[in-house]
């Protein structure tokens, strides 16, 4: 089938996000320490920012076809994996990733709904990185924009600006930056697929490899469903090497592969902007148009 005809057919079927003319109604509602998002009346996700949490995160992150979460939350083996989240270990002696609030926390101080209704919702937040007896090393501002490019692709744009409140030393760590823990039924260990932009698959061939995106998906009864993370080319360290696991974990991070040192040093006053795009989708990476969606994203 010729490429142009194939794109046309996929778009008509609602399976190719960048070429879809779909328009959704997206509602955000604040309920206590969470902001709930619905798309065309279906619950999609919650941004959770409770004061007793290690850091803010999204959970569940429901797939457009099954309505079940494509992410998992704190299983027994890895209780520090909270669905779709941002954090970092080994920051000036603190741990802003793993369990234990006394080791460090990322505290939401101003989670707000900036826009809701129509075809998008926008959530903003300000967060302080804090631990007892130590100066806060970082504060961050966050903008999350939720859209639905098609009825089978939901999108979260993540825009986080980190400001260094002191000289920051991040020692080599695999626990760092934006991450997703996939639901067990989608994992490679249970028959799912993890694939990067270079068409490399599985932990063995994606671990430590630089790439602009990774998609992770698997079968759920009659449907295929998954989640892709894309890095924007403007990000520091782009393209980052990825920390990947066949049990269902992906994170683009340079912190496990620091260059010419055993740590990454960032001077006080430095601001770093990190942008990611999350696509929660039905179908394979080809059916969901992940590569085409990245080409669109890179120009934005």
The domain 24-298 having CATH identifier 2.70.98: the answer here is yes
Range in 88-102, 205-219, 256-270 with the lowest mean pLDDT = 256-270
Cα angle value 121/48/189 (rounded, 5°)? 100
Q: How far is CA 110 from the centre of its chain?
A: 20
- The CA distance from 259 to 224, in Å, is 38
pLDDT given for residue 1 in this prediction: 41
Domain boundaries, the chain: 24-298
Q: What is the mean pLDDT of residues 63-71?
A: 97
pLDDT confidence bin for 76, thresholds 50/70/90: low
pLDDT given for residue 299 in this prediction: 96
- The CA distance from 15 to 11, in Å, is 6
Range in 20-24, 58-62, 146-150, 266-270 with the lowest mean pLDDT = 20-24
pLDDT given for residue 16 in this prediction: 44
Extract the tokens encoding 196. 């990067």
Extract the tokens encoding 225. 């469903």
pLDDT given for residue 257 in this prediction: 87
Instruction: Return the half-sphere exposure (C-beta side, CA atoms, 13 A cut-off) of residue 166.
Output: 13
Alpha helices in the chain (DSSP H): 3-12, 202-206, 290-298
- Give 246-296 pLDDT, tens digit per residue: 999 999 999 998 777 889 999 999 999 999 999 999 999 999 999 999 999
pLDDT given for residue 80 in this prediction: 75
- Give 146-175 pLDDT, tens digit per residue: 999 999 999 999 999 999 999 999 999 989
């Amino acid at each position: 089938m010729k490429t142009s005809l194939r794109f046309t057919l996929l778009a008509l079927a609602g399976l190719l996000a960048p070429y879809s003319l779909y328009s959704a109604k997206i509602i955000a509602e604040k309920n206590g320490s969470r902001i709930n998002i619905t798309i065309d009346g279906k619950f999609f996700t919650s941004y959770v920012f409770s004061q007793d949490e290690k850091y803010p995160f999204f959970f569940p992150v429901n797939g457009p076809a099954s309505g079940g979460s494509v992410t998992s939350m704190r299983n027994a083996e890895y209780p520090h994996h909270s669905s779709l989240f941002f954090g970092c270990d080994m920051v000036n002696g603190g741990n802003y990733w793993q369990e234990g609030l006394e080791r460090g926390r990322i505290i939401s101080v101003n989670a707000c709904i900036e826009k809701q209704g129509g075809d998008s919702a926008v959530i903003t937040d300000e967060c302080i990185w804090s631990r007892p007896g130590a100066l806060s090393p970082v504060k961050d501002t966050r903008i999350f924009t939720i859209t639905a490019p098609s009825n089978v692709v939901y999108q979260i744009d993540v825009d986080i600006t980190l400001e260094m409140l002191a000289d920051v030393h991040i020692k080599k760590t695999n626990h760092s930056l934006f991450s997703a823990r996939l639901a067990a039924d989608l994992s490679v260990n249970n028959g799912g697929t993890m694939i990067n932009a270079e068409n490399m698959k599985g932990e063995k061939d994606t671990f430590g490899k630089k790439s602009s995106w990774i998609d992770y998906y698997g079968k759920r009864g009659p449907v295929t469903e998954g989640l892709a993370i894309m890095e924007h080319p403007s990000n520091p360290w782009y393209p980052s090497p990825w920390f990947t696991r066949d049990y269902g974990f992906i994170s683009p991070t340079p912190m496990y592969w620091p260059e010419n040192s055993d740590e990454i040093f960032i001077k006080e006053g430095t601001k770093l902007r990190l942008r990611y795009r999350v696509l929660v989708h039905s179908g394979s990476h080809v059916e969901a148009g992940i590569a085409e969606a990245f080409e669109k994203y890179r120009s934005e």
